[in-house]
Amino acid sequence: MSSRPPDDNTPADRTTDDECWLAMEMQAPGRPLQAVWRQALPAPQDGQVCIRVAACGVCRTDLHILDGELPFPGHAVVPGHEIVGRLEALGGGVTGLSLGQRVGVPWLGWTCGRCEHCLAGRENLCTAARFTGWHLPGGYAQHVVADARYVFALPDRYGDDEAAPLLCAGLIGWRAYAMAGATAQRIGLYGFGAAAHLIAQVAVHQGRQVLAFTRPGDKAAQALARQLGASWAGGSDQAAPLPLDAALIFAPSGALVPKALQDVRAGGTVVCAGIHMSDIPSFPYRWLWGERRIVSVANLTRTDGEDFLRVAAAMPLRVHAVPYALSQAGQALDDLRAGRVSGAAVLRC
């Protein structure tokens, strides 16, 4: 496999007699997505695969990219990093994959394999990393090219709509959950969306107690949390009814950090799971004292993906997918921003 980064966001083309295909593209931050019709199919280079996209999850990170909260990469962006599809072409040197196989593509799309982080097994911190749907073409499209090293086989028990959220909401939720520590028995989830509704089920399945903190007044999300096994669900403006061992923050609100610190017991951990968060307000040192910790989650590793998908294959996760047509990507993002999605929004491509 090649360790050379992709040259840009547009792979080479291959000719086709098929009808045109659709991609939803962002030309610049703050602008709405544009429907772009293309004729030639993307051609995989050495070490790459081309995928006919079936479904792609809609993630809050996509909003951060569109809003300019993550740096604009300098070229048009096709968002989407929770991609499910079938292999339609293999580049040179690709082994272990076969045409027609269903695979998933996550956020981490390429790493150098040579830096100190990669060599230490922490490829999620690679300083040269490229990310799907930001630096690299994403899944808001009917076809996409990906690095063969960063595609996953998917559990057969999940349909395409259900499998898509596993690839970011599930993976980032899993990494955040692991950072809570094996001894954390009472876990608070702050922001009950795509990631929390999956990891809540894993935690309950493993015998842990889950408390869900939603937007104040979001009765639908609170009801979903209880249905999925949470022992308590309420607004994020409410104090935890019992001291927590760990708090996992999935909402991008920095104001939740001092709130969560007050909810965790001495020795507890607050995990900030998002790629972007508003500024954290100042707070008294006594809220941190008592060996409480604040940690962040940065991206994911292939090992995270393999571990989580193994768990997902072994237990019946209820994935609450809300489907949209690919052409409705803008509406899906608006609904996500406004908190109108209970579960995970998914584009059918």
Tokens 């209880």 appear where?
A: 226
* Residue spans of alpha helices (H) in 96-144: 116-119
What is the dihedral sign for C-alpha 89, 115, 168, 136? negative
List domains and CATH numbers for the chain.
13-167+319-348 (3.90.180.10), 170-296 (3.40.50.720)
Residues 6 or more apart in contact with residue 231 via CB below 8 angstroms? 209, 210, 211
User: Tell me: the pLDDT tens digits for 214-248?
Assistant: 999 999 999 999 999 999 999 999 999 999 999 99
Of 160, 148, 146, the residue nearest 54 (C-alpha): 160
Determine the pLDDT at residue 12: 52
Question: Which of helix, strand or coil describes residue 65?
Answer: helix
Per-residue confidence (pLDDT) for residue 304, from 0 to 100? 95
Q: Is the pLDDT assigned to residue 205 strictly greater than 60?
A: yes
- Tell me the per-residue pLDDT of 71-112, one tens digit each, with 9 for 90 and over: 999 999 999 999 999 999 999 999 999 999 999 999 999 999
pLDDT at 142 (0 to 100) = 98
pLDDT at residue number 2: 47
* Integer Cα distance of 328 and 330 in angstroms: 5
